[in-house]
Amino acid sequence: MTTQEVAKRLYERCQQGQFETAQKELYSNDATSTEINMTNGDKETKTGLEAIEVKGQQFQSMIEEMFGGYTNEPTVYGNYIFMEMGMDVK
């Protein structure tokens, strides 16, 4: 798959709420996840599919209630995919 094809499939899966399926289907075992910590601006980077899955499980365990969310269409920069996502949760 090209990076553009991966981005399209990732977007489709995320639109359907299939985040874990997308990770297992599309992520490399040595994938890196980088997010900005909104409290202090530091970046948190998790390397490897297993670490990303653990981070997702930890995040899910903190959610009491889900009110909604969004996934914007991805932008491809060479071999990189940028896709903004947001959630309204308690």
The 10s digit of each residue's pLDDT in 33-90 is 877 666 666 676 778 888 888 888 888 899 999 999 999 999 999 988 999 989 999 9
Is 35:43 a contact under the CB 8 Å cutoff?
A: yes
What CATH number has the domain bearing residue 50?
3.10.450.50
pLDDT tops 80 at residue 8: yes
CA 73/CA 54 separation, integer angstroms? 25
Gyration radius (Cα) of the chain, Å: 13
How many angstroms from the chain centroid is the CA of residue 48?
13
Strand partners, 85: 71
pTM recorded for the entire structure: 0.78
CA 85/CA 70 separation, integer angstroms? 6
How many structural domains compose the chain?
A: 1
Domain that holds residue 72: 3-89
- 17: enclosing H helix or E strand: none
The residues, any chain, with a CB within 8 Å of residue 56's CB and separated by 6 or more, are: 19, 20, 23
